[in-house]
Amino acid sequence: MGRKQFGFVVGFGCAALWAGAGFLVMVAAVFAGLIGLATAMVLAGEVDMGEWASRLSVRHR
């Protein structure tokens, strides 16, 4: 499946969820999906958590 087809499927799924369950449910589903994607990327080693932690930490002088 190409990126355009995948994008269509995701967009259609969001629109169907919005129509069937409401806007807030759709937003919650997208948020949960992004959390799942981030978790999968970390577990696969595609994201370096040490780098993110150093970017978000307060720098002391």
Residue appearing with tokens 């129509």: 19
Q: What is the pTM of this model?
A: 0.66
Side chain identity, residue 31: F
pLDDT along the chain (61 residues), means of 10: 86 90 91 89 85 77 56
The pLDDT value given to residue 41: 87
The pLDDT value given to residue 46: 87
Residue appearing with tokens 């577990």: 43
Rounded to an integer, what distance in angstroms lies between the CA atom of residue 11 and that of residue 13?
5
The pLDDT value given to residue 42: 85
Among the listed residues 41, 17, 37, 12, the one whose alpha carbon sits nearest the alpha carbon of residue 27: 17
| Those residues with Cβ within 8 angstroms of residue 55's Cβ, 6 or more apart along the chain or in another chain | none
The pLDDT value given to residue 60: 58
